[in-house]
């Protein structure tokens, strides 16, 4: 957990080289133009980056979640947008691995792992965010099909994805009425609605997803009717670890830029890192980055080794994303006026970091998850 083995070092080096040469060449342009390049996901898939934890049987590398967070951190150091895209296209693989039947796995997972197919996850709705169990999208059985109607919000890869995992209501109110479905991206009646104009992650497309009488085969149901909320919560546990890893990458990239700048920048004939006001700030930033990384690594390790990790995933997501927001903001401060301009990437890092405190459950929700588990443990 503290020292990477040779395989892990080789993996992170390969990811770093690819991201710097490919993603780095257009990172600023993609942010400014809000441009998503699907071919980048395909290229990363060809390198194996999109199927790190997916079993080799289904086209992945089978290396576990610990190695997965190492990869996501390296991608996020260059582009948080594409790190999130890799994490999101990985989420259907995680869901299929745990809840899919053999036919569903064989049909979808190899394409997702290779980057040939792009995945997405559709849970949130206009009036259903933190209260996910109140979703209103419906799925009605019609012979050997289901017919889906509703609107999903905040869908990463909306309009681009080849596969959406959609949560819809098949029963009464509350979590027991929710089911999970595999919805192909080319389904008739499925379309992308309004594209969100975002503060950050501007190279990662986020849209409304509109379902109008979308007919899908009954075999596209994941598990059984009424188990969809469990699917969603399990997916969020895993997703919180990946968002934590992206946050760590953002924070590390910001620290790297700020520390280098403070070492080279001189005022009063002295490197500004030698002034306590700056040097101590950088020291605190370094502590936040390492603390966040250790918590993310612990959650991933627990997941890989079959231990309970729901509380630890929430803790890792909370600590890492709060750290990313603090570190990216402090990096802008270290660079002063330059940090506020687009001459340096720290202003983009700061914009990208904010949403990390919101997605996969807000950090207020994470505190709720943690406190409830503490209550259960000490009752």
Q: Quote the CA–CA distance of 180 and 111 in Å, as a whole number.
A: 20
**Contact at 8 Å (CB) between 260 and 331?**
no
Nearest to 262 by CA among 274, 253, 254, 251: 274
Q: Does the active-site annotation cover 360? A: yes
Helix orientation angle between 310-335 and 228-264, rounded to the nearest 10 degrees: 30
Question: Chain centroid to CA 347: how far?
Answer: 20
Nearest to 186 by CA among 257, 117, 126, 94: 117
Catalytic residue among 73, 125, 347, 360: 360
Rounded to 5°, angle at Cα 116 from 102 and 118:
80
Sequence-separated (6 or more) residues with CB below 8 Å from residue 87 = 72, 239, 242, 243, 245, 246
Any idea which residue has 């986020």 for tokens?
206
Q: Quote the CA–CA distance of 274 and 277 in Å, as a whole number.
A: 9
**3-state SS, residue 137:** coil
**Contact at 8 Å (CB) between 166 and 180?**
yes
Residues 111-149 as b or e (16 or more Cβ within 10 Å = b): bbbbbebbbbbbbbbeebbeebbebebebeeeeebbbbb
Annotated active-site positions, please?
360
């Amino acid at each position: 957990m503290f020292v990477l083995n040779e395989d892990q070092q080789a993996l992170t080096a390969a990811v770093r080289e690819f991201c710097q040469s490919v993603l780095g060449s257009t990172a600023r342009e993609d942010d400014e133009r809000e441009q998503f390049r699907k071919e980048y996901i395909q290229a990363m898939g060809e390198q194996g980056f999109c199927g790190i934890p997916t079993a080799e049987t289904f086209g992945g590398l089978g290396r576990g979640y610990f190695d997965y967070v190492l990869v996501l951190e390296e991608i996020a150091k260059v582009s948080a947008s594409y790190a999130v895209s890799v994490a999101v296209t990985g989420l259907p693989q995680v869901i299929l691995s745990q809840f899919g039947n053999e036919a569903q796995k064989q049909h979808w997972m190899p394409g997702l792992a290779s980057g040939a197919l792009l995945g997405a996850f559709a849970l949130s709705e206009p009036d259903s965010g933190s209260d996910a169990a109140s979703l209103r999208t419906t799925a009605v059985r019609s012979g050997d099909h289901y017919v889906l109607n509703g609107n999903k919000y905040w869908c990463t890869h909306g309009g681009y994805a080849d596969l959406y995992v959609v949560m819809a209501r098949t029963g009464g109110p509350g979590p027991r009425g929710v089911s999970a479905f595999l919805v192909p991206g080319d389904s008739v009646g499925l379309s992308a609605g309004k594209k969100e104009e975002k503060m950050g992650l501007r190279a990662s497309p986020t849209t409304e997803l509109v379902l109008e009488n979308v007919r899908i085969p009954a075999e596209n149901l994941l598990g059984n009717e009424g188990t969809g909320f469990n699917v969603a919560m399990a997916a969020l546990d895993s997703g919180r670890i990946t968002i934590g890893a992206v946050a760590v990458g953002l924070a590390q990239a910001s620290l790297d830029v700020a520390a280098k700048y403070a070492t080279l920048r001189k005022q009063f004939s002295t490197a500004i890192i030698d002034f306590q006001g700056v040097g101590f700030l950088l020291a605190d930033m370094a502590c936040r980055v390492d603390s966040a990384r250790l918590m993310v690594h612990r959650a991933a390790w627990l997941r890989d080794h079959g231990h309970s990790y729901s509380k630890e995933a929430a803790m890792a997501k909370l600590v890492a994303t709060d750290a990313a927001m603090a570190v990216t903001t402090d990096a802008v401060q270290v660079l002063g006026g330059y940090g506020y301009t687009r001459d340096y990437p720290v202003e983009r890092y700061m914009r990208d970091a904010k949403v990390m405190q919101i997605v996969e459950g807000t950090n207020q929700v994470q505190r709720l998850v943690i406190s409830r588990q503490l209550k259960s443990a000490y009752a």
